[in-house]
A and B are shown apart, each in its own frame.
Chain A
Amino acid sequence: MGKLPLEGLRIADFSWVWAGPYCTKLMADMGAEVIKIETAKRPDVTRMLPPWFPGPMPTSPNQSGYYNMLNRNKTSVTLDLTTAKGVEIAKKLVATSDVVVENFAADVMTKFGLNYDVLRRLKRDIVMISMPAYGSTGPDSHYISYGPAQVPLSGMSFLTGFKGGPPMHVGTSYGDPTAGLHACFAVMSALHYRKRTGHGQYIDLSQWETSIMVIPEGIMEYTMNGTQRPRMGNHDDKLAPHNIYRCEGDDDWVSIAVGTEEEWQALGKTMERPDLIADPRFSDQFSRWKNQDELDKIITEWTLKRDKWTAMNTLQAAGVAATITATNKDVVEDPNLNERGFMVEQDHPEVGKKKIFGLAWKMGKTPGAIRRPAPLQGQHTEYVLSEILKYSPEEIAQLKDEKVLF
């Protein structure tokens, strides 16, 4: 294992669920020491969401796939921040850290006595990021948001759906990792600035705003022309054909998209429909775009007779952009993801050896790695308190008794 790029950085991670932990996952994967502050009083939501292994219900807070995949490479300390002693320990931890990450609703850290103003006095150059749904300021900043709600709130649902149909969701709390990635970029930029100048700073990030950044097609249509972009299913503004087509089987599909005359001809040839290539309904991009509903039906006649893998491979061999519409099983078993080492097996003390997703990038010199499974709840409490914060074993025992380390 090569050197890890973020070795030596310590992150005091107060975040929970997906958005904050996704940001800190990116850093933990690349070698930062991410210390998650959890509490058994109110376990991280993801510890209590399915799937659990072996199931069907959890018998410990360490069996959730959601939590375990997201929080690998991190350490966990249990601290009750509603106690004065718990807050004191948290402050000591921040005083030895480079970064503080939190994604509670806007005033929670202040209520704990752990807002930026306080923490900056303990460590002048701390970089702190708050990443609540609505941002730390503004008239609605006290509103509550759950992950799935970001998608409709952001405008993405309004733009997503079948032609003539209602707005729809996108299947996951897409706003969370989008916020987490933006947050990580902001933190790394602040660290970069600090390296050069010695100055830390506070970052107020709004998850809502990060989700709006990724739908400029809709936003700009409105700001420039005052019109609201209609929903268009799987169709595209320019490319045609461009859709997801049913294949042989109960529920198997393939995506096909054509952008050039060359690709169109290749598609026509592969479908053994040379008549289509010059058919006036489809003979150039404009006509294909206008008549794509008809064209979709014709393409479906071909795809229905093939399984999705054959459809994909035959079309790719001919130079047409086509891919299966992957199930979660397809993703876990995908040849490209496995050969590139993106899907990796990890051994976890309670759930055993399971495949998890790894890193979404390959860095030539500093690859990053899945070094440790996700922590058991509070697994590193003693380690952090004795090795990093220098508490004695007696003090630690006392704090446990008082349910501060809980």
Chain B
Amino acid sequence: MADRALSDIKVIEFGNFIAGPYCTKLMADLGAEVIKIEEPIVGDEARHMGPFLGNIPHPERSGLFLFLNTNKKSITLNPKTATGKRIFLDLIKDADVLIENHRPSVMKELGLDYETLSRVNPNLIMTSISPFGQTGPYKDFKAYDLNVISIGGMPYINGGLFADSETTGVDLPPEGMPLKPAGHQAEFQGALNAAVATMMALWCRDSVGGQHIDISEQEAISSILETNIPFYSYLEVIRRRFDLPIVAPVHIIEAKDGHIYVLCIEEEQWKSFVEMMGSPDWANEEIFANRVARGMYADALIPVLKEYIEQHTVEELYHEAQDRGVPFAPVSTMADLLSSQHLNARGFFVDVHHPQAGKVRMAGAPWKLWATPWMIEFPAPLLGEHTEEIICGRLGYNRTDLAKMAEVGVV
């Protein structure tokens, strides 16, 4: 097997859903050995979340699970049992990294907190991902992804008037209602910060030994609010979702066959765009004279742009604009992405062959490392697929014992 960037690293993943698993996926995909510890019978929560192949729920056919767990091994283990815990500690002895995303009290309750694990392996890097961190006034708060995003600061500055009063049953303020970004972004941001911090701890491990890393998803979200924190700490200005845009146009506008993001904020780009539209008279109005004015009068600008945009397809507008140096972007549908000539030329999407789900297409890696390329060595594991390989083959338990362990719920 080719020497991959992280071939020398052994990772134990003791997590669920997205935060732990995406972190270790990044490592597994670059060659680290990742042993995923799943709850016996039930397995990772993500196995029970759609989208499912053919819309038929099945723990080996969850698209989310199949994507997040490429290149990993799966063992089922219940560390609440004394034997299970012993096995967990055996695995830790030999590991470089442990990634876990349980609520802060759980590892301590299991007797698997950092103090205990570091005695077994002083070189272990243990990275814990939780909604609010391991310490602090919110550490025992309950939170799903939405709740972290909400207190993290993203939805307040987004959203708008489309929300139908009928549906919400409430009088909306003029700014409409707050809106979360699609998917589970607090989980992904937690995972990314965990992956980066873990690599940094590995980098200095020769001189300082192992350590515990505490990742707070709230902090991960509050780190990426762009200008919103400085607006308050510099000027005590509260940013709201319907603030006038500072410059314009920076708007999603409906085209003939979809939507396009009309972004045009440099004056030369605006000139090119006006030419592209056939130099209409309205473009000469004072209120559209420069980008700040266009921002102030966006309410007048957008309707006239719309009249032009809705007559053309997204493809036409996108390529025509880009050819003129105007940085439009399509509002890509899923179909657009999968059929993108650019993404396919780069080999971004890959087909992964899975024993139960069959051939499944998914995003590959968002980078090309020239010396140590990314690859799918094996698909997401079946539940407990490697239990025997690891527990018998590696740790030396015999098969009869393993069968008994399975019967009584240790594995």
A164 to B232, CA, bound (A): 34
A144 to B154, CA, bound (A): 26
> B282 on the interface (CB 8 Å rule)?
no
Residue pair A165, B162 in contact (C-beta under 8 Å): yes
Residue pair A360, B220 in contact (C-beta under 8 Å): yes
> A96 on the interface (CB 8 Å rule)?
no
* CB-contacts of A25-58 with B (<8 A): 26, 30, 49-53, 55
> A152 on the interface (CB 8 Å rule)?
yes
List of B residues within 8 angstroms of A359 by Cβ: 219
CB-CB nearest in chain B for A257 = B144
Residue pair A182, B192 in contact (C-beta under 8 Å): yes
A398 to B186, CA, bound (A): 51
CB-CB nearest in chain B for A159 = B182
Known: A163-B167, A209-B348, A236-B146. A363 touches B201 (CB 8 A): yes
A51 to B231, CA, bound (A): 6
Residue pair A228, B335 in contact (C-beta under 8 Å): yes
Known: A5-B201, A234-B146. A160 touches B179 (CB 8 A): yes
A356 to B177, CA, bound (A): 27
Known: A139-B341, A172-B225, A192-B203. A326 touches B152 (CB 8 A): yes
A160 to B370, CA, bound (A): 35
Among B34-42, B76-84, B132-140, B390-398, the stretch that binds chain A is B132-140
> B151 on the interface (CB 8 Å rule)?
yes
Q: Which of A172, A216, A337 is within 8 Å of B67, CB to CB?
A: A216
* CB-contacts of A312-352 with B (<8 A): 316, 319-332, 334-337, 339-340, 342, 351
Residue pair B157, A328 in contact (C-beta under 8 Å): yes
A70 to B361, CA, bound (A): 37
Residue pair B238, A188 in contact (C-beta under 8 Å): no
* CB-contacts of A211-264 with B (<8 A): 212-225, 228-229, 231, 233-234, 236-239, 242, 244, 246, 250-251, 253-257, 259, 263
Q: Which of A141, A158, A351, A364 is within 8 Å of B211, CB to CB?
A: A364
Residue pair A51, B331 in contact (C-beta under 8 Å): no
Known: A153-B330, A321-B144, A323-B150. A244 touches B370 (CB 8 A): no
Q: Which of A216, A225, A255, A364 is within 8 Å of B114, CB to CB?
A: A364
Among B2-10, B296-304, B400-408, the stretch that binds chain A is B2-10
> B16 on the interface (CB 8 Å rule)?
no
Closest CB-CB distance, A329 to chain B, in whole Å? 5
Known: A145-B327, A300-B170, A360-B223. A244 touches B177 (CB 8 A): yes
Q: Which of A156, A168, A253, A256 has the most CB of B within 10 A?
A: A168
A190 to B222, CA, bound (A): 28
Number of interface residues of A (CB under 8 A): 160
Q: Which of B53, B227, B366 is within 8 Å of A50, CB to CB?
A: B227
Residue pair B213, A363 in contact (C-beta under 8 Å): yes
Q: Which of A201, A253, A365 is within 8 Å of B209, CB to CB?
A: A365
Residue pair B366, A213 in contact (C-beta under 8 Å): yes
> B92 on the interface (CB 8 Å rule)?
no
List of B residues within 8 angstroms of A14 by Cβ: none
Among A79-87, A173-181, A271-279, A379-387, the stretch that binds chain B is A173-181
> B289 on the interface (CB 8 Å rule)?
no
Interface SS of B by simple majority: mixed
Residue pair A228, B8 in contact (C-beta under 8 Å): no
Residue pair A55, B235 in contact (C-beta under 8 Å): yes
Residue pair A181, B196 in contact (C-beta under 8 Å): yes
Residue pair B218, A336 in contact (C-beta under 8 Å): yes
Interface flags for A182-211 (1: CB within 8 Å of B; 0: not) read: 111110111111011101111111101110
Interface flags for A139-158 (1: CB within 8 Å of B; 0: not) read: 11101111011101111111
Residue pair A361, B215 in contact (C-beta under 8 Å): yes
Among B105-113, B258-266, B273-281, B381-389, the stretch that binds chain A is B258-266
A21 to B5, CA, bound (A): 24
Q: Which of B51, B133, B142, B234 is within 8 Å of A221, CB to CB?
A: B51
List of B residues within 8 angstroms of A3 by Cβ: 204, 207-208
A139 to B346, CA, bound (A): 9
A323 to B138, CA, bound (A): 10
A189 to B182, CA, bound (A): 29
CB-CB nearest in chain A for B118 = A364
List of B residues within 8 angstroms of A331 by Cβ: 152-153, 222, 225, 228-229, 232
* CB-contacts of B308-362 with A (<8 A): 322, 325, 327-338, 341-343, 345-346, 348-349, 357, 360-362
Residue pair A190, B252 in contact (C-beta under 8 Å): no
Residue pair A155, B233 in contact (C-beta under 8 Å): no
Among A107-115, A130-138, A281-289, the stretch that binds chain B is A130-138
> A61 on the interface (CB 8 Å rule)?
no
Closest CB-CB distance, B95 to chain A, in whole Å? 16
Q: Which of B132, B261, B348 is within 8 Å of A157, CB to CB?
A: B261
Residue pair A162, B223 in contact (C-beta under 8 Å): no
CB-CB nearest in chain B for A2 = B208
Q: Which of B185, B199, B366 is within 8 Å of A174, CB to CB?
A: B185
Known: A165-B162, A172-B225, A321-B142. A360 touches B193 (CB 8 A): yes
> B284 on the interface (CB 8 Å rule)?
no
Residue pair A185, B204 in contact (C-beta under 8 Å): no
List of A residues within 8 angstroms of B136 by Cβ: 335-336, 339-340
Closest CB-CB distance, B232 to chain A, in whole Å? 4
List of B residues within 8 angstroms of A239 by Cβ: 144
List of A residues within 8 angstroms of B333 by Cβ: 155, 158, 228
Q: Which of A169, A199, A336, A360 is within 8 Å of B252, CB to CB?
A: A169
A256 to B147, CA, bound (A): 7
> B305 on the interface (CB 8 Å rule)?
no
> B156 on the interface (CB 8 Å rule)?
yes
Q: Which of A137, A220, A251, A321 is within 8 Å of B346, CB to CB?
A: A137
> A371 on the interface (CB 8 Å rule)?
no
> A167 on the interface (CB 8 Å rule)?
yes
CB-CB nearest in chain A for B368 = A204
A-B contact list, 15 entries, CB within 8 Å: A5-B204, A49-B227, A158-B333, A166-B254, A189-B5, A217-B183, A220-B64, A223-B361, A224-B54, A233-B163, A321-B142, A321-B143, A354-B234, A360-B220, A366-B204
List 4 A-B pairs, minimum CB-CB distance, nearest first: A65-B230, A220-B63, A171-B158, A297-B169
